[in-house]
Amino acid sequence: MIVIACPGQGSQSPGFLNEWLELPGAREFLGEASERSGVDLIQHGTVSDADTIRDTAVAQPLIVAASLLAWRELSARAVLAEAGVAGHSVGEFAAAAAAGVLSEGDALHLVGVRGRAMAAAAAQARTGMSAVVGGVEADVLAKIAEHRLTPANRNGGGQIVAAGALDALAALAEDAPRGARVIPLQVAGAFHTEYMSSAIPVLREAAGTVAVSAPKRALWTNADGSRISDGGRLVELLVSQIASPVRWDACMEGFQQAGIAGLIELAPAGALTGIAKRALKGVPSVAIKSPSDLEAAAALVAEAA
């Protein structure tokens, strides 16, 4: 099975949509996506600087729209009927649309609501996230707890992301677990922790207004890495996910149990294929960073068929 992975926040970079806009229909799609999400995605994906697109309210719909555009383009070049999908954090909204649980428009609407609600929550306290790379997992988790932080993303491949107050993150960096490095991330808050709890009712209300269908393909959840067969249950998890840890490590275990033959990361790609190279050794992968990567991705699908 080919698994299509949809990236999360922090994968965006200034100007990354410029090449995509050269594709037929891309500008029209992104214009519609801008209307649904309430964010000028063309502006932010082409000329906005790094600080602007770091804003949670901008970054989240920008990433999901880019993933859906890449999904459309890959679908035009490869047969994806047997592919499974999963998303990391906000990438779960792109995965939900690719799996047919949500329409693209509804996924973009919800992620616009989510981004604004989480930005408002992040503004209430000085918080952030840092990747802890290396070390023994048990030691890393113990050290994170010692500094009253949350293991917000358990990504596998020797990476756990700690989240919480900025002073606690600074203390963790000074007291890193043995054999580990602590790397601050370019995000605007402590996502997937209790600091985000005020955003949950906002997204829950919006989620109650959209149509939901059963997934049409294999779909894994960040909650525990299990496969989801009930679209309504996935939407519930998309809401609670705001303040719950991401278990990408468990998702990758699910991919292995399903017999993964290759992993393709949609735009803006790189982080998830990097983790896969460490955690899914021997599994070929392609990161679709630009339209020039689409042919390599289509070839990987064909090889796995």
Choose, from 48, 89, 130, 244, the residue flagged as catalytic: 89
Half-sphere exposure of 155 (CA within 13 A, CB side): 26
Residue 89 designated active-site: yes
Q: Reduce the secondary structure of 207-222 to three states and give it as a string.
A: HCCCCCCCCCCCEECC
CA 96/CA 86 separation, integer angstroms: 8
Which residue among 48, 109, 192, 285 is the active-site one?
Answer: 192
Torsion of Cα atoms, 240 then 214 then 280 then 88, to 10°:
-30
Catalytic annotation present for 147: no
DSSP string across 162-222: EEEEHHHHHHHHHTPPTTEEEEE-S-SS-TTSGGGGGGHHHHHHHHTTS-----SS-BB-T
Helices (H) and strands (E) counted in the chain, each on its own, are 13, 8
CA–CA separation, 20 and 145 (whole Å): 42
Residues classed as catalytic: 89, 192
